[in-house]
Amino acid sequence: MIRIVTRAAWTEMARPKQNVRSRSPRSGSDLGFVVPRTVSHPAMLRGGGDEAFRQSLYLMVLAFGRLINCREAFGRAMALTGSQFAVMIGTAYRQKTDGVSIRELAEHVQLASTHVTTEVGRLIRKGLLIKRPNMRDRRGVLVKLSRKGEAAILQVAPFVRSVNDLLFADIPRSDFAVVTRFLDTFALNTERALAEIRRRERQMCD
């Protein structure tokens, strides 16, 4: 039997066929875009992937952000900022009988010396801190709580204690010690990481 092919059918048969299973040049795979790993240290990988690592980072950002929120709340309870609260409580713990130097205070509260100097000046103007010459270092000063500052610390202490008790509930001493050791190393690593970021940004600007 002779099959009659119409003009429309012939045109359709002659049209080049598209390969519907051709791979995307962007992904190189039928599975879609393959995300590169965000870390290469073997200790940070699980099953060759970095998903658990990234989840841990998200938790760290969440937890640290909430810690900052708590510090800000402590400051608000004293009509201060969060960093001013840190300077106040740091002074309370480091002043002893003579006072604490700006450098030692900055190291204790993990803030830049210039920032601590600025906040100390503001707290002195608020009547919460007092300063006097450092007899061991004529170039510096020693900072202490004023009577008003001592009263402010005593007033806010129960609030701080209740919040910290909630923050660290059900965390054994051994786990906290592990976190502390981790943060000691991690803080040093952040310095190196930030230095690398600055170097890359300078290269981009050149």
Q: What is the rounded CA–CA span in Å between residue 146 and residue 152? A: 10
Q: 190 lies in which domain range?
A: 175-206
Instruction: Convert 168-186 to b/e letters by CB count within 10 Å (16 or more is b).
Output: eeeeeeeeeeeeeeeeeee
Domain membership of residue 150 (yes or no) is yes
CATH code of the domain containing 144: 1.10.10.10
Enter the pTM of the model.
Answer: 0.79
Domain membership of residue 26 (yes or no) is no
Are 204 and 115 part of one and the same domain?
no
How does pLDDT run across 142-184, given as a tens digit for each residue?
999 999 999 999 999 999 999 999 999 999 999 999 999 999 9
| Distances from the Cα of 139 to the Cα of 71, 101, 116, angstroms | 31, 11, 16
User: What local confidence, expressed as pLDDT, does residue 29 receive?
Assistant: 54
Are 206 and 127 part of one and the same domain?
no
Are 78 and 112 part of one and the same domain?
yes
Are 147 and 186 part of one and the same domain?
no
The segments of the chain whose pLDDT lies below 70 read: 1-30
Listed residue (97, 69, 74, 70) closest to 85, CA to CA: 74
Are 130 and 195 part of one and the same domain?
no
Are 62 and 122 part of one and the same domain?
yes
If one counts the domains in the chain, the total is: 2
3-state secondary structure of 59: helix
Are 62 and 133 part of one and the same domain?
yes
Angle at alpha carbon of residue 48, lines to 44 and 52, rounded to 5°: 50
User: What local confidence, expressed as pLDDT, does residue 147 receive?
Assistant: 98
Domain membership of residue 111 (yes or no) is yes
End-to-end CA distance of the chain: 78
Are 140 and 56 part of one and the same domain?
yes
User: What local confidence, expressed as pLDDT, does residue 23 receive?
Assistant: 46
Are 55 and 121 part of one and the same domain?
yes
Are 132 and 191 part of one and the same domain?
no
Listed residue (119, 120, 144, 116) closest to 130, CA to CA: 144
Task: Pinpoint the alpha helices (H) of the chain.
Answer: 7-14, 51-77, 82-94, 102-109, 113-125, 147-167, 173-205
Domain membership of residue 106 (yes or no) is yes
